[in-house]
Amino acid sequence: MDTPQPVPAPEPIPPQPPQPGMNERQWIVATHLSALIGLLVPFGNIIAPLIIWLIKKQEYPGLDTVGRSVLNFQISWMIYAFVAGLTIWVCIGAILLPAVVIAWLVFLIIGAVKASNGETYKFPLTIKML
C-alpha cells in the first residue's frame, strides 16, 4: 500500500514594504479626526489638530498644508456654531445650531475619508486665517 507523500508547505510570502507616504497619510487622517475630541472637550476640535500640526508639520511636509486647512475649517465652523448659538434667543438658533453641527460633522468625515484615500479636500465655507 502506497502512502501519500507529504505536500511541502508553501514558502511564506514576505511582508510588503509600507507604501511610501503611508505614515504621513495616517497623520493627516488623525489630524482630521482629532477634531472629534471637540464633542467631549470644549475647544478640543481646535486644540487637538493644532497639537498634531505643530508637532508633525516639520516631519511631514504634506501635513503642514492639511493642518492649516483643518484648523481654518475648525475655527470657521466654531464661529458659525457660536453665532448660531446666539440666534437661539430669536428662535432661529434652535434649527440653525443643530444644522451647523451636523454639517460640521459631515464635512469633517468627508475630509477624513478623502485624506485616507490620499486625496486633498477643500472644506466648504471656510475662512482662510492661517
- pLDDT per residue of the chain (130 residues) written in tens, 0 to 9: 567 777 777 777 776 554 546 799 999 999 999 999 999 999 999 999 999 999 999 999 889 999 999 999 999 999 999 999 999 888 888 899 999 999 999 999 999 999 999 999 999 999 998 8
Q: Residue 71 carries which side chain, given as an amino acid letter?
A: L
SS3 content of the chain, % helix, strand, coil (to 5): 65, 0, 35
Largest CA distance in the chain: 93
CA distances from 51 to 34, 37, 55, 107, 113 (A): 10, 12, 6, 21, 21
Q: pTM for the complete prediction?
A: 0.80
Residue owning grid cell 471656510 = 126
Sign of CA dihedral 68, 72, 73, 78: positive
